Every structure is written in C-alpha cells, then in structure tokens.
C-alpha cells in the first residue's frame, strides 16, 4: 500500500464511519478502484485506522467520557451501559471472526447491503415517529443491550454500524439525535475491541513502514471524522435519513452494474 492510497482510504474512513452509509463498504470499494492489493495488511489497515475515528468521538464528547462527574454513579452507569451494549458484538464477532473476514472480500455483498439498507432508511422516519427518549440518561440497560444486538447486523459489509445502531435506537424510542449520539458512544468500545484484537493478532507481522502508514491514516481519519460527526448531527436533526437512503441506493445500484459488466470483481 502506497502513502497516497493510505491517505485516501483514511479520508473515506473518517467521512463514512459515523454516517449511515457503511465505512467498511466504502473502504472496500475504494481499495478495489485504487487497485490496492487484497492482502492481510490491507485488511488490518482498514481496521487499524478506526482508532482515529474513535478518538474523534472521545474528543468531541470529552465531557461525557472524561470530565469528572458530579454524581459518580451517573458516570459508572454510562460506562456500564456501554459495556452491556457492546456485549453482543464482542460475542458474535469472536465466534464469527473468520466468516466476517471472508465477507470483507465481497463487493457483491457490499452492493446488495447498500441497496437494501437504503430502502430501509427511506421509510425509517415514518416507522418510528413517536420517540419518548430525548436524553442519553433515559436509555435503560435493556434498551442499550437491544441496540447492541441491532449493531451486530453491521458485521455484514455494506450494512453500516452507524445505520444499524441508530435504527436500533429509534426502535427503542430514542429520538434521532440521541440515537445517533448513542451510536457514536457505542462505537468507542466496539471499535476499540475489534481494532485491538486484530492488531494484537497481527503484532508480530507489523513493520516500521506499516506503523508509519497507521500513524498517518489515524491522524487523517481523526480530523475528517470530527468534521463528519458535526455535520451529521446538524443535518440529521433537520433533514432525517432520506438523502443517505438515496445515496446508498444509487451507489449500490452502480456497483451492481459495474459487477455485472465485469468492471469490478464480485
């Protein structure tokens, strides 16, 4: 992987990680279009640069994660709630790790997931019209766990972790803003666990050149993710999901056409 390729992939990661359009799917597409070799390091890189995106959430919501709480019970409740929510992903991710890795090679899976997910997003605002939870503190442990279960659907490339967990939140009566922000919070332990596990497994094969690419990729992903998160929250509050739905359907359909005529591999 060349430096420019690493930077472009990191930009895609930062832009798409917290939007409901699938960061993994877009990175797979980007790698195919750039002709990046489909090897172990490429797969590791797409996971490793998630650390930058995680840090963007912690920095933007530092009061939630790091500021000393007036009531220490509230702080522990917040962390424990995230722990409960991340459990399904930890268990399923561990059990199905090899199957998930095999899906990362499939452009067809990404294309179909983008289209199907786009169709779902077209109707999501009308399906969940009466939210009753307008603050993160109102989210119960049961709701957090169920949102975590929804998140697991995103292990299929192209689904979008953000979309799955936001839909799960809205199904649990969270309003759009709270559902999106809880999805961001949940991304921190989820992505940290997935990234840490992959990096530890591959630690012996990582070279100094790899570390340089990781460092640059994470810095780029961090900066771009901060911009994307701020945009998404503002946009979502006023416009809903339809623009993202149309985008997903358009890109997914274009991919299916490119796959059918042999321009992209399946």
Bridge partners (DSSP) listed for residue 174 = 133
More reliable by pLDDT, 69 or 210:
210
Pairwise CA distance, residues 159 & 150, whole Å: 11
Bridge partners (DSSP) listed for residue 7 = none
pLDDT tens by residue, 128-179 = 888 899 998 899 999 999 999 999 998 888 888 899 999 999 999 999 999 9
* pTM of the entire predicted model: 0.86
Q: Ranked by mean pLDDT, which of 72-81, 138-147, 210-219, 251-260 comes out on top? A: 138-147
- List the Cα angle 82/83/88 in 5-degree steps: 100
Please give the average per-residue pLDDT across 170-192, as a whole number: 92
Give percent of the chain above pLDDT 90. Answer: 42
């Amino acid at each position: 992987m060349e430096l420019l390729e690493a930077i472009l992939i990191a930009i895609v990661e930062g832009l798409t990680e917290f939007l409901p359009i699938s960061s993994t799917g877009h990175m797979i597409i980007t790698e195919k279009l750039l002709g990046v070799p489909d090897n172990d390091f490429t797969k590791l890189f797409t996971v490793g640069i998630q650390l930058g995106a995680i840090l963007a959430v912690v920095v933007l919501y530092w009061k939630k994660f790091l500021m000393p709480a007036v009531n220490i019970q509230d702080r522990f409740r917040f962390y424990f709630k995230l722990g409960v929510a991340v459990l399904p992903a930890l268990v399923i991710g561990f059990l199905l790790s090899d199957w998930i890795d095999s899906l990362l090679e499939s452009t067809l899976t990404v294309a179909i997931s983008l289209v199907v997910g786009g169709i779902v997003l077209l109707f999501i605002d009308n399906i969940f019209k009466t939210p009753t939870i307008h603050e993160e503190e109102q989210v119960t442990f049961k709701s957090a766990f169920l949102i975590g279960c929804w998140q697991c659907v995103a292990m299929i490339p192209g689904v979008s972790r953000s979309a799955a967990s936001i839909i799960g939140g809205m199904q649990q009566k969270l309003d759009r803003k709270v559902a999106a922000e809880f999805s961001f919070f949940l991304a921190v332990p989820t992505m940290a666990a997935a990234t840490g596990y992959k990096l530890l497994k591959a630690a012996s094969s990582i070279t100094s050149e790899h570390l340089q690419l990781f460092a640059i990729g994470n810095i780029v992903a961090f900066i771009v993710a901060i911009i994307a998160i701020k945009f998404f929250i503002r946009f979502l509050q006023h416009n809903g999901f339809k623009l993202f739905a149309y985008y997903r359907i358009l890109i997914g359909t274009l991919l299916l056409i490119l796959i059918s005529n042999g321009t992209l591999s399946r």
